[in-house]
């Protein structure tokens, strides 16, 4: 297989940087893998949770995730200002899990349904500012950073313009982060496959 030049570009990465992007589908085991890595790190762990409990089912999911984590792990809820939360929480003696980038992206795309189809997500000022802030802060973060994200490009093409916009932006975000971090894994059926690093 010939690698696509646009996807194989890797930015200059500080070899001391300890950051991993963990991709996978729904219920693939990606969060569990991130939690296992965090537990094995021997560091204090903080989870930055991006989900919002908009309905009873989502609230129950959030409670299940919280109950599955060790009680001594700290949880910070941040649905939008992820770069600022990472700047506050990342520390040389800490492992930070971001779970997950895909829900964060969903939160940032609120209001995108009102955009003309040709506008794209960059027409949303908050989306553009928060995405750029995250990409800028990643190389400077101390400690261990584990970023969990869904791989949404393996299924059917979404039927709606908003669904296609979400799928496209999720793919672009995953590619941009993968180019900036030293390690990338893909999890399927609970089994991690190292893609980079």
Query: Residues annotated as binding site for GTP?
Result: 24-31, 49-51, 77, 99
Q: What angle do CA 35, 41, 47 make, to 5 degrees?
A: 40
H-only helix segments in the chain: 5-8, 30-41, 56-68, 82-89, 101-108, 125-137, 161-180
Q: Are 121 and 114 in contact (CB under 8 A)?
A: no
Q: Which positions make up the binding site?
A: 24-31, 49-51, 77, 99
Based on the residue annotation, tell me whether 33 is a catalytic residue of this protein.
no
CA distances from residue 114 to 21, 123, 159 in whole angstroms, order as listed: 31, 11, 16
How far the first Cα of the chain sits from its last, in Å, is 20
- Which one of 41, 44, 65, 88 is the catalytic residue? 65
- Residues marked active site are found at 65
């Amino acid at each position: 297989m010939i690698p696509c030049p646009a996807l194989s570009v890797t930015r200059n990465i500080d070899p001391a940087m300890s950051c991993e992007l963990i991709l996978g589908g729904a219920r693939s085991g990606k969060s569990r893998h991130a939690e296992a890595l965090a537990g094995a790190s021997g560091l204090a762990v903080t989870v930055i949770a991006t989900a919002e409990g908009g309905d009873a089912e989502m609230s129950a999911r959030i409670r299940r995730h919280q109950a599955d984590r060790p009680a001594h792990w700290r949880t910070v809820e941040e649905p939008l200002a992820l770069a600022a939360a990472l700047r506050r929480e990342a520390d040389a003696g800490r492992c930070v899990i971001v779970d997950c980038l895909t829900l964060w992206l969903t939160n940032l795309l609120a209001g995108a349904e009102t955009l003309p189809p040709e506008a794209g997500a960059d027409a949303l000022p908050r989306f553009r500012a928060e995405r750029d802030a995250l990409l800028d802060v990643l190389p400077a973060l101390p400690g261990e950073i584990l970023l969990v994200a869904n791989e949404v490009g393996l299924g059917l093409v979404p039927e709606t313009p908003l669904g296609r916009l979400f799928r496209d932006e999720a793919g672009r975000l995953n590619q941009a982060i993968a180019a900036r971090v030293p390690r990338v894994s893909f999890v399927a059926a609970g089994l991690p496959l190292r893609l980079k690093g």
